[in-house]
Structure 1
Amino acid sequence: MKWMAALACVLVTSMCLAQAAQSFRPASTNVWGAQYPRIDDAGRVQVRVKAPEADSVRLNFWSGPKLQMQKQPDGFWTVTTEPLVPGFHYYTLVIDGAEVADPGSQAFFGGSRHASGVEIPEPGTTFYSVQDVPHGQVREVWYHSQVTATWRHALVYLPPGYDSQNERRYPVLYLQHGGGEDETGWIRQGRANFILDNLIAARQAEPMIVVMAYGYALRAGESLPEPAPFGSPQMWQAMQHMTSTFEDDVTQALIPFIDKTFRTLTDRDNRAMAGLSLGGMQTFHITLRHLDLFSHIGGFSGAGGVLGDSAGKFDPKTDYEGAFADAAGFAKKVHVFWIGVGTAEPERFHARIGGLHKNLDAAGIEHIYVESQGTDHEWQTWRRALHDFAPRLFRTRKTRS
């Protein structure tokens, strides 16, 4: 009888293991036909890579676990993570000390290079999913900038019906990526096109053109500055200089090109700018110095305070050339001023953005402050930010609160 009980135990265990294996499925971010990485409903990730001659393989989620993988007799290395929070996660593999991408994953540009990524679905959340609604188009454009003396690249989202409604003109949102990412991020990682498709279909947002430009710029004849430690005065000086160059590129080259190429509404009331992290800092710097061009402003985990001030200090009377000095005048010019941060982001972002929010309140500056619950300095925070920000754009002041 004991052998029967033992056999039953083995069978039950095997069935449980089989059911657990069946609950895993290939991630939506995999290359075509790749079975790994795999995810389950709990948010766990299984990674498998073939490296028969390797002595050590480690899984490195940039904002998550760093795990040693186990070598199997067939030369594959495997590991299963604990549940990850929903959203998009960058990761790499470290094979005998060399950090490489996972061949089973699509490549996403982040951290100033192409890396692997895995998408963990958020249960019950569909606002960034592909749905059965009319879809806009994302087009690639090249424009020549006299500021940089180069051809520069941007992606442009055109709303559903753009090609069929030939007489209609549209407002424009300039939407910037973060540091270490590029103009592809808002589409590939952020799913901005699907967010806009779904909002427009539900009549929750105005049909708009969205321009996503390459956010790094050097003036003609300049070379890249020497790398500087994060947070150092040299780093802030380099960022300030590059942002100043990007400001001129946006205002002198990009906006004129977009207005000439597409059917845009060219007045300031129909032009917005927003960005995440570094793109948020760029947005504040550009828009607040050019309120003749912009009337809607969004900072998604964007650094508050004076550009170049690593302490994040803020004086509404003098900073940004006094754009906030007159609260009533600011409210007349800026129809939406939106700032937000994830509750799980590092303290430096809370200090900057939360501090900006408090200072704006103290100065009587009308603005919108939103916290994304449970999310870090990551794409799930910024997807939620865009989903909240976009419906507020290009509407009357009575309906935007």
Structure 2
Amino acid sequence: MKYYLYIFFSCIVGINALAASSEIMPVINQDKSVTFSLYAPDAKKVSLSGTFLPKGRSIKTPAGTFSKEGSIEMTSNNGTWTYTSQPLTSELYTYTFDIDGKVKPDPKNPDRIRDIADTLSYFIIDGGIADNYVTQKVKHGTIEKVWYPSNIEGMSKRRMTVYLPPSYKTNPHKSYPVLYLLHGSGGDEDSWCDAGRAAQILDNLIAQGKCKPMIVVMPNGNVDLAAAPGHDPNNPDIKPSANNTSSMLGKIESVFVNEVVNYVDIHYRTLANKENRAIAGLSLGGLQTLFTALNNPKYFDYIGLFSAQTTNALDDGKISGMQRIGEKWQNLKNKIPFFGGGGVDKTISKYTSEDLSIYDNVDIKLKYLYKAQPKLFYIAVGRDDFVKKLNDDLRERLDSRKYPYVYNETDGGHTWENWRKYLVDFLPRLF
């Protein structure tokens, strides 16, 4: 009898242990507080970092506020480290564990996103704005990963993500407006669907009748990389970086219409006119959005800048000076051919190329843009964003010429929390 009782209780213990090991974390409590748990019996110190915690040290500058992500030490009980947050408002929150100096996502949470080179765990608190970020029981659009031909130096093709609305494949005779949606520094063609939850936002707003069904094209705006990490056969081991200086020198903007827009209009059922075309971007993507629109005033009726880097600090004088250096270098190469082709030549050519003209004569280009009467020029930025001063300067420029625009100033800074909200606010204004 004792033997059978032993077997019985062993099974119970085993089942409980299995249940504990397979438990999905974190636990969202009834009051919307969140409990985190990590089993790390050999760890000496475990801390938790996340967007739900109060910000760490902040530095205020004339350009904006720079803040470190919040972090808190967890407490251990027999090797299980735990922490319970305060009740949280509706949002998508990301977090990681720091285990004796090694940063890792939550092994018990299958929900993860990549932000530049970081893999983050996430959870969603419902009951508000974040209901837009959840995969709801509605009709879903289709996501396609597309390679298109490119003339950008060093690559014959580049990759983009295309969202097709739920009715695209069920209604084969209908054509759709198009939004071109650009990522920020360190991002790629996966960013808006991954950290930005663009597909879920579109599915939910379309289902609620809050925005029109549309095609959304999310290209890779990093000029040095043809595709997101792991998807470029020519650079399979490349690691993304937030340092994208090369992508601020006009190359993306100079080929955008010919390579991206024309490809989409040929291969998808688009309403291929200015009235049914929009472009928007965050941070670096805001710079590329602004100058793609300024140099193609008859292509986009809707322009959206989300925490935009509105300038690359090159004014007309600097651009002319750099182009003169390029001309002198080219003359020197013509006289002494072996100067060409090396590392110095590539660097000088990159920073003195004719693509820099994308950024010149801003006032003249603004005049022609508004002469074409865009239906929406939208600017959104957080009060603590380090690019807010740049956006204030752009608004002063527009105000001085009485050019109309819509301005959305929010709390917070340069974060996906804001960029998702801006997309939710921007989409219903289109078409």
Query: TM bucket by the smaller chain?
Result: 0.7 to 0.9
Distance 2:121 2:156 in 1: 30
Structure 2: where are the runs of 5+ without partners? 1-20, 56-68, 227-233, 316-358
Residue number in structure 1 paired with 2:308: 302
Distance 1:210 1:236 in 2: 24
CA distance change for structure 1 residues 48 and 182 in 2, over 3 Å: closer, same or farther? farther
CA distance change for structure 1 residues 274 and 34 in 2, over 3 Å: closer, same or farther? farther
Structure 2 counterpart of 1:102, from 106, 125, 128: 106
Distance 1:205 1:191 in 2: 16
The higher-RCO structure (CA 8 Å, 6+ apart) is 2
CA distance change for structure 1 residues 323 and 97 in 2, over 3 Å: closer, same or farther? same
How far is the alpha carbon of 1:141 from its aligned partner?
1.8
Distance 1:378 1:117 in 2: 14
Count of aligned pairs: 341
Larger Rg: 2
Residue number in structure 2 paired with 1:91: 95
Is it true that 1:240 corresponds to 2:221 in the alignment? no
Is it true that 1:177 corresponds to 2:183 in the alignment? yes
Residue number in structure 1 paired with 2:61: none
CA deviations over 1:61-117 (Å, ceiling 9, x no partner): 2664301122221x2222223345542233222111122222223221114332222
Pairing of 1:181-220 with structure 2 (within 5 A): 181-218=187-224
Distance 2:148 2:378 in 1: 29
CA distance change for structure 1 residues 41 and 279 in 2, over 3 Å: closer, same or farther? farther
Distance 2:91 2:129 in 1: 13
CA distance change for structure 1 residues 159 and 95 in 2, over 3 Å: closer, same or farther? same
Distance 1:236 1:33 in 2: 40
CA deviations over 1:325-383 (Å, ceiling 9, x no partner): 36xx615342211111234x33x2322223322331222111111123x4443333222
Structure 1 counterpart of 2:43, from 49, 54, 57: 54
- 1:110 corresponds to which letter in structure 2? D
Distance 1:257 1:161 in 2: 21
Distance 1:33 1:272 in 2: 45
Residue number in structure 1 paired with 2:271: 265
Distance 2:23 2:187 in 1: 25
Residue number in structure 2 paired with 1:324: 366
- 1:101 corresponds to which letter in structure 2? P
Is it true that 1:136 corresponds to 2:141 in the alignment? yes
Q: Secondary structure at the match of 2:123?
A: strand
TM-score (norm 1): 0.74
Q: Secondary structure at the match of 1:324?
A: helix
Structure 1: where are the runs of 5+ without partners? 1-31, 311-316, 395-401
Residue number in structure 1 paired with 2:381: 341
How far is the alpha carbon of 1:132 from its aligned partner?
4.3
- 1:340 corresponds to which letter in structure 2? A
Distance 1:82 1:291 in 2: 49
What is the percent sequence identity of the aligned residues?
34
Residue number in structure 1 paired with 2:5: none
TM-score (norm 2): 0.70
Contact 1:331/1:366 (8 A) holds in 2: no
Residue number in structure 2 paired with 1:279: 285
Contact 1:147/1:253 (8 A) holds in 2: no
- 2:49 corresponds to which letter in structure 1? N
Distance 2:417 2:309 in 1: 18
CA deviations over 1:125-175 (Å, ceiling 9, x no partner): 644444444332222222232324144222211112111222211111011
Residue number in structure 2 paired with 1:256: 262
Structure 1 counterpart of 2:34, from 21, 45, 57: 45
Distance 1:363 1:133 in 2: 45
Distance 2:38 2:225 in 1: 43
Residue number in structure 2 paired with 1:379: 416
Contact 1:218/1:245 (8 A) holds in 2: no
Distance 2:207 2:277 in 1: 21
Distance 1:166 1:262 in 2: 11
Contact 2:95/2:122 (8 A) holds in 1: yes
How far is the alpha carbon of 1:213 from its aligned partner?
1.6
CA distance change for structure 1 residues 379 and 85 in 2, over 3 Å: closer, same or farther? farther
- 2:82 corresponds to which letter in structure 1? T
Distance 1:101 1:125 in 2: 21
Contact 2:147/2:159 (8 A) holds in 1: yes
How far is the alpha carbon of 1:43 from its aligned partner?
4.5
Q: CA RMSD in A?
A: 3.3
CA distance change for structure 1 residues 83 and 353 in 2, over 3 Å: closer, same or farther? farther
